[in-house]
Structure 1
Amino acid sequence: MLSFDDKTPMYFGGKGDEPMAYIELSLFGGASDAVYDKLTAAICDAVSAETGMAPANIYVKYEEAEHWGWNGSNF
């Protein structure tokens, strides 16, 4: 699932004068630190390529979900 909220004012470290992205990902189960490192790099590269946004202004948050419901039941 994706949701985009354009033109939302964002501030980090007291700065808010440049475009930023905050990305939340929920993973069913989990992953190793090495996988998270590769995924973060790939996400930052893709967002930067599509938006021109500096990778230093792209923040990624991960949450591991042990239980995930869909279509009236859980995985």
Structure 2
Amino acid sequence: MPDPRIKNEAQYEALVKKGYSKEKSARIANTPDAGEKGGKAKPYEEWTKEELYEQAKKVGISGRSYMNKKSLIKSLRTN
């Protein structure tokens, strides 16, 4: 039975199988536009530092307030 708190159940399950914790998987799967494809989002290099910070906040990256733009991009791509 799907969990009604998870917005993107397929993505959540895939992340758990990949080894992510349930909490982190849920955060990512519940992020607005999570897992949507189609090339509509601009590359992180074109985002402002503030936009990157807000995205890092949404997905739960710790230490984000100390990161510069390059570090935020790296963290968003690897987490």
User: Normalization by structure 2: what TM-score?
Assistant: 0.30
Q: Which has the larger Rg? A: 1
The higher-RCO structure (CA 8 Å, 6+ apart) is: 1
